Amino acid sequence: MSARAWRLVLLGPPGVGKGTQGRRLAQAFGVPQIATGDIFRNAVKDRTPMGTAAKSYIDAGKLVPDDVTIGLVEERLARPDAQAGFILDGFPRTAQQATALDALVQRKGLRLDGVIEIKVDAAEVIRRLTGRRLCAVCQTPYHLESASPKLPGVCDRCGGPLVQREDDDEKTVVNRLDEYQRKTAPLAEYYRGVGLLRVVDGNGDMDTVFARIMTALGAAVGPAA
């Protein structure tokens, strides 16, 4: 495994598995996974001012305003654990956020190493999101059909209760996909233009997708091909 720091961005609509792959990449590279959606959800739960500001947008499946989101990421990337690299999951999601990230990384004399765009068919995305359940305690994701827990409604890892994310109902899912198409999908072309984009097929099981990502990064695990 390469010992270098990785500064990566995961791009792709809700439901393609950014969270799962982000967690594995963070583990593999020893860098933090920075998932803006998770940070917002925790802020909502803790009723912080940021959480209060973000809640109505999240509930509606809309993007939280750029100034709030960019401020949050700036703060997070300034922390010590992010200095050796990071996996950004769910940021940037707008052109303005991408510009802010470029400026931030450049100010430190660094650069991004890659942007992984994970692609999955639209029908599969909707199936994944509406069947998704999460452990309320440790956040481990499950799926009613394809990744069900041993005991219905109970987390295999910690015994916590499985819940559905409030924004995984069908109406909000449609809004989230629409926001993605309009505001985030164009970022793929931007990153392609600067030579950072790596497109990865997100169909198939988690291990297969993870191996594809590692190959795309030139950091393949297992026997050399």
Residues in contact with ligand ADP by CB under 6 A are 14, 36-37, 40, 57-58, 61-64, 69, 90-91, 93, 97, 176
With beta carbons less than 8 A apart as the criterion, state whether 21 and 206 touch: yes
Q: Catalytic site residue 24?
A: no
Find how far residue 1's CA is from the centre of its chain.
22
Closest CA to 50 of 32, 70, 34: 70
DSSP 3-state of 138? coil
Taking the complex as a whole, the smallest distance from the CB of residue 90 to ligand ADP amounts, in Å, to: 3
Residue type, 212: R
Q: From the list ligand ADP, Zn ion, none, which binds 40 (C-beta under 5 to 8 Å, kind-based)?
A: ligand ADP
Q: From the list ligand ADP, Zn ion, none, which binds 91 (C-beta under 5 to 8 Å, kind-based)?
A: ligand ADP
Q: How far is CA 170 from CA 60, 67, 131, 162, 177, in A?
A: 11, 28, 10, 18, 11
Taking the complex as a whole, the smallest distance from the CB of residue 7 to Zn ion amounts, in Å, to: 29
Q: Which is nearer to ligand ADP, 90 or 114 (CB)?
A: 90
Q: How far apart are CA 23 and CA 25, in angstroms?
A: 6
Q: How far apart are CA 133 and CA 168, in angstroms?
A: 9
Given 93, 133, 183, 212, which residue is catalytic? Answer: 93
Q: Catalytic site residue 182?
A: no
Interface with Zn ion (CB under 5 A) = 135, 137-138, 140, 155, 157-158, 160
Q: Which is nearer to ligand ADP, 29 or 184 (CB)?
A: 184
Q: Which is nearer to Zn ion, 164 or 215 (CB)?
A: 164
Q: Catalytic site residue 198?
A: no
Q: Which is nearer to ligand ADP, 62 or 192 (CB)?
A: 62
Q: Which is nearer to ligand ADP, 147 or 219 (CB)?
A: 147
With beta carbons less than 8 A apart as the criterion, state whether 138 and 158 touch: yes
Taking the complex as a whole, the smallest distance from the CB of residue 81 to ligand ADP amounts, in Å, to: 20
Given 41, 128, 176, 183, which residue is catalytic? Answer: 176
Furthest-apart CA atoms within the chain: distance in Å: 51
Q: Catalytic site residue 4?
A: no
Q: From the list Zn ion, ligand ADP, none, which binds 14 (C-beta under 5 to 8 Å, kind-based)?
A: ligand ADP
What the block records as the tokens of 179 is 């926001």
Q: Catalytic site residue 212?
A: no
Q: How far is CA 185 from CA 10, 41, 92, in A?
A: 12, 23, 11
The secondary structure of residue 11, as a DSSP letter, is E
- What is the set of active-site residues? 18, 93, 132, 165, 176
